[in-house]
Structure 1
């Protein structure tokens, strides 16, 4: 069972608890603009694997389908080798339930990929949320980035660190931008 969710990271991290010498004030130099966001779509199978993809801005249905087609191809291989299906738990986000996405559901099921939708407003039931929290509060917290590239590199490093700490395999999907 894999847990799917999207999370976003901004170039300015929120201020966190910290310490400074008595009589001095904590200073966090700010970069020019706080605009800019990197979104990550992840599928976490606890203690086994974490698959993910990054985009600038937010995920759209087309990119979600590309990632899910990749996951479905791997599900097909698992089904062929072991006879086991792959179940993805996700919320009812618009990109997961759009008309375009729904058109893929039957194909994905034929490949051994089944979707399970959480009840509305129950994000706490999605176990991947704890991984997002760890990434944001321990790996990239308190950092300011001049550009989205720097933020993306920090996310990549943070994901690698999380996989080592969690003892799971890490695999990144890279979009074909030709």
Structure 2
């Protein structure tokens, strides 16, 4: 019953967004490895498919993104886990955008997302009132309902088509491939793409091969 009620609520939000009464976005996280999983494919008779592994496996590059279909895709990359604190920084920026929209048009912004722990932590709960004052509201999708979040399809396209079967020397090369893949998806879907940086102002003055 909960899923049916939540799905009905989401459909109302989608209808309101189509009619221009509010802005609806979808948020999710995903991850990428330097070594792509081996997959089935065609090859010439007498030959064997090969995926040459690099010298080191490297760390996982994680992505957090918020997608407004046919309009905008904003994302951030992190080498290692995306924490609740990382999520809050990302949503704080979304709240700034929502506040500008609300002040200009009176429209609120709604972000639909799953019930991951980093989305529901105590620190997040303590920020909700602040975000709502700026015109940003969070909508939690029913549990185990990834099919209701269309950003999942974007992650699939990137993994299944953009970087499938590739091996990367290190996290930097992997991150650059993910950045290029997201940009390519933006061009295909007609969305403006913006990358959010998690580094502090001090660290932005420093450049290194490991920064993403």
| TM-score above 0.5, yes or no | yes
Matched with 2:145 is: 122
Q: CA RMSD in A?
A: 1.0
Larger radius of gyration: 2
The 8 Å contact of residues 8 and 58 in structure 1, kept in 2 or not, is answered as no
| Aligned twin of 1:45 | 68
Q: Structure 2: 5+ residue runs without aligned partners?
A: 1-23, 203-212
What are the ranges of 5 or more consecutive residues in structure 1 without an aligned counterpart?
none
Q: 2:105 aligns with which of 82, 105, 109?
A: 82
Determine if the alignment matches structure 1 residue 31 to structure 2 residue 54.
Answer: yes
More strand by share: 1
Q: Does residue 1:59 correspond to 2:82, yes or no?
A: yes
1:8 aligns with 2:31: yes
In 2, distance between residues paired with 1:84 and 1:16? 46
After superposition, what is the alpha-carbon deviation per residue over 1:73-127, rounded to whole angstroms, capped at 9, x for unaligned?
0000111111110000001110010001111000000000000001111111111
- How many residues are treated as equivalent by the alignment? 178
Match of 1:151 in 2: 174
Distance in 1 (CA, whole Å) between partners of 2:35 and 2:176 is: 14
Partner of 2:6: none
* Structure 1 stretch displaced more, 13-22 or 94-103: 13-22
TM-score by length of 2: 0.82
